[in-house]
């Protein structure tokens, strides 16, 4: 039984990966040549002020942006497609066809957001919230015991939900006692993480062996890599090419699968 679905032919995948790795090498060389110049630049892609329309974020004074909101309202957060991410890391991994990637290119913006969220929710009394799947909240991120933005994936029981911490790419159980309404001032930045699948390797409904999943985790956990995201019809159907300066993760996984 053929349990692996290949979106592209092996020749197409190899060519795309070679082009990708060549771009990474050129980018690495350029970074070395321009290091002095880059020291004077911000590493944010949101320099020009985010207003919800032009995909930018105001990184100036945050005192007004993160003021208290007295009335809870359902919030939306922009989901922006980014074709290329130079510095990325891994979040939760289900399989090579279902995992989360963190975009570290704009790390300073998210550090500022994290700090502002802590200050805001440390100084505001708790409020009851209505629970809806797909809704965004502020919640205690268990790994760091800090306030963070979370999306309700499903209600687990009468005391907890399953939440996705959108700026960490981590899915975790969240107690209802630790949920707060997300103030509208915290909705400008898109999620730092996104769910994707390895292009040309498989997808969410592929049948994966434990050996394949373990090998993928071994390749990506604890490292920084670059990402090319392919355009698809739906943000829920993303596919990506992952590589370091000397390794194509997609190509390595294809080879591993073919030999096992």
d(CA 167, CA 9): 34
125, 180 contact by CB (below 8 A): no
Report the CATH number at residue 132: 2.30.30.140
150, 181 contact by CB (below 8 A): no
pLDDT in the model for residue 40: 42
d(CA 64, CA 1): 59
DSSP state of 206: S
Residue 18 vs residue 221, higher pLDDT: 221
Number of domains in the chain: 2
Using left for φ > 0, alpha for ψ between -120 and 50, and beta otherwise, residue 255 falls in: alpha
Q: What is the mean pLDDT of the chain?
A: 79
Q: Taking the complete model, does pTM exceed 0.75, yes or no? A: no
Tell me: do 184 and 135 sit in the same domain: yes
pLDDT in the model for residue 123: 86
62, 112 contact by CB (below 8 A): yes
Model pLDDT for residues 85-104, shown as the tens digit of each residue: 999 999 999 999 999 999 99
Read off the tokens for 121: 């929710």
Read off the tokens for 59: 């990184």
Q: Is residue 68 part of a domain?
A: no
Residues found in the chain: 260
Tell me: do 111 and 185 sit in the same domain: yes
Tell me: do 173 and 117 sit in the same domain: yes
Report the CATH number at residue 80: 2.40.50.90
Tell which of 140, 170, 190 closes a domain: 190
Using left for φ > 0, alpha for ψ between -120 and 50, and beta otherwise, residue 102 falls in: beta
Residue whose C-alpha is closest to residue 253's, from 194, 200, 207: 200
3-class secondary structure per residue, 122-163: HCCCCCCCCCCCCCEEEEEECCCCEEEEEEEEEECCCCEEEE
Residue 123 vs residue 111, higher pLDDT: 111
DSSP labels, 22-41: HHHHHHHHHHHHTHHHHTTS
Q: State the alpha helices, DSSP H only, in 123-248.
A: 210-220
Tell me: do 101 and 196 sit in the same domain: yes
For residues 229-234, give the mean pLDDT: 88
> What is the maximal distance between C-alpha atoms in the chain?
59
| Structural domain of 221 | 8-31+74-106+192-260
pLDDT exceeds 50 at position 70: no
Tell me: do 151 and 221 sit in the same domain: no
């Amino acid at each position: 039984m053929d349990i692996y679905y290949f979106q592209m032919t092996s020749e197409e995948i190899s060519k795309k990966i070679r082009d990708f790795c060549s771009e990474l090498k050129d980018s690495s060389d350029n970074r070395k040549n321009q290091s002095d110049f880059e020291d004077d630049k911000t590493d944010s892609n949101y320099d020009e002020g985010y207003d919800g329309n032009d995909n930018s974020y105001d990184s100036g004074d945050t005192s007004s942006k993160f003021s208290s909101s007295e009335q809870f309202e359902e919030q939306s957060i922009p989901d922006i497609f980014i074709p290329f991410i130079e510095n990325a890391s891994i979040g939760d991994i289900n399989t090579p066809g279902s995992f989360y990637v963190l975009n570290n290119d704009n790390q300073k913006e998210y550090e500022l957001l994290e700090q502002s969220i802590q200050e805001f929710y440390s100084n505001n009394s708790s409020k009851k919230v209505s629970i809806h799947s797909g809704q965004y909240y502020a919640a205690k991120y268990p790994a760091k015991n800090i306030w963070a933005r979370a999306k309700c994936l499903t209600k687990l029981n009468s005391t907890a939900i399953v939440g996705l911490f959108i700026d960490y790419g981590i899915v975790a159980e969240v107690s209802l006692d630790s949920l707060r309404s997300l103030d509208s001032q915290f909705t400008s930045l898109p999620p730092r993480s996104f769910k994707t699948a390895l292009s040309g390797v498989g997808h969410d409904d592929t049948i994966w062996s434990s050996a394949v999943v373990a090998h993928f985790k071994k390749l990506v956990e604890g490292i920084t890599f670059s990402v090319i995201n392919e355009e698809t019809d739906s943000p829920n159907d993303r596919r990506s090419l992952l590589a370091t300066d000397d390794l194509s993760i997609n190509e390595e996984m294809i080879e591993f699968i073919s030999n096992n």
